[in-house]
Structure 1
Amino acid sequence: MNKYHQKIKQRLLSKSRFIYLWWLYKKSKAIAVNQKSAIVFAPHQDDETLGCGGTIALKCDRKVALDVVFLTDGRASYAEYPQICPDQLVQIRQQEAIQALKTLGVAQSAIHFLGKPDGGLAVLSSAERQETINQLVQLLRDRQPQEVYVPYKQDIHPDHKETYALVQAAVQESQLPIEVLQYPVWTRWVPHQLDFKSPELAHAYRLPINKVLNKKIAALAAYQSQYSSIVPGVEPILPPGFIECFISSYEIFFKTSPVKQKLSCEL
Structure 2
Amino acid sequence: MFVNKYYQKIKQRLLLKSRIIYLWWLYKKSKAIASNQKSAIVFAPHQDDETLGCGGTIALKCEQGVPLDVVFLTDGRASYAEYPQICPDQLVQTRQQEAIAALKSLGVPPSAIYFLGKPDGGLSHLSAREREETVNQLVQLLRDRQPQEVYVPYKQDVHPDHKETYALVQAAVQKSNLPIEVLQYPVWTRWVPHQLDFKSVELANVYRLPINNVINKKIKALEAYQSQYSSIIPGIEPILPPGFMQCFFSPYEIFFKAS
Q: 1:38 aligns with which of 37, 40, 43?
A: 40
Give the structure-1-normalised TM-score.
Answer: 0.95
Which region of structure 1 is more displaced relative to structure 2, 241-250 or 20-29?
20-29
Q: 1:85 aligns with which of 81, 84, 87?
A: 87
For 1:101 and 1:76, locate their aligned partners in 2 and report how far apart those are by CA, in whole Å. 22
1:136-163, Cα deviation, whole Å (9 max, x unpaired): 0000000000000000000000000000
For 2:116, the equivalent position in structure 1 comes to: 114
For 2:64, the aligned partner's letter is R
For 2:201, the equivalent position in structure 1 comes to: 199
For 2:216, the equivalent position in structure 1 comes to: 214
For 2:217 and 2:26, locate their aligned partners in 1 and report how far apart those are by CA, in whole Å. 24
For 2:16, the equivalent position in structure 1 comes to: 14
State the Cα distance separating 1:25 from its structure 2 match: 2.4
For 1:262, the equivalent position in structure 2 comes to: none
Which region of structure 1 is more displaced relative to structure 2, 8-17 or 243-252?
8-17
Task: Classify the secondary structure of the residue corresponding to 1:56.
Answer: helix
For 2:258, the equivalent position in structure 1 comes to: 256
**Runs (4+) off by over 6 Å:** none
1:143-192, Cα deviation, whole Å (9 max, x unpaired): 00000000000000000000000000000000000000000000011112
1:182-213, Cα deviation, whole Å (9 max, x unpaired): 00000011112110101101111000000000
Q: 1:70 aligns with which of 69, 72, 77?
A: 72
1:24-55, Cα deviation, whole Å (9 max, x unpaired): 32111101000000000000000000000000
For 1:125 and 1:102, locate their aligned partners in 2 and report how far apart those are by CA, in whole Å. 34
For 1:39 and 1:25, locate their aligned partners in 2 and report how far apart those are by CA, in whole Å. 27
For 2:93 and 2:29, locate their aligned partners in 1 and report how far apart those are by CA, in whole Å. 40
State the Cα distance separating 1:15 from its structure 2 match: 2.5
Asked if the contact 2:18–2:191 (Cα under 8 Å) also holds between the matched residues in 1, the reply is no
For 1:265, the equivalent position in structure 2 comes to: none
Give the structure-2-normalised TM-score.
Answer: 0.98
For 2:242, the equivalent position in structure 1 comes to: 240
For 1:118, the aligned partner's letter is D
State the Cα distance separating 1:10 from its structure 2 match: 1.8
For 1:27, the equivalent position in structure 2 comes to: 29
For 2:27 and 2:76, locate their aligned partners in 1 and report how far apart those are by CA, in whole Å. 31
For 1:215 and 1:157, locate their aligned partners in 2 and report how far apart those are by CA, in whole Å. 26
Task: State the superposition RMSD in angstroms.
Answer: 0.8
Is residue 167 of structure 1 aligned with residue 156 of structure 2? Answer: no
For 2:40, the aligned partner's letter is A
State the Cα distance separating 1:134 from its structure 2 match: 0.4
Which region of structure 1 is more displaced relative to structure 2, 16-25 or 75-84?
16-25
For 1:144, the aligned partner's letter is Q
Task: Classify the secondary structure of the residue corresponding to 1:154.
Answer: coil
State the Cα distance separating 1:5 from its structure 2 match: 2.0
1:68-89, Cα deviation, whole Å (9 max, x unpaired): 0000000000000001000000
Which region of structure 1 is more displaced relative to structure 2, 205-214 or 189-198?
189-198
State the Cα distance separating 1:237 from its structure 2 match: 0.4
For 2:228 and 2:70, locate their aligned partners in 1 and report how far apart those are by CA, in whole Å. 19
Structure 1 residues without counterparts, runs of 5 or longer = 258-267
Structure 2 residues without counterparts, runs of 5 or longer = none
Asked if the contact 2:57–2:211 (Cα under 8 Å) also holds between the matched residues in 1, the reply is yes
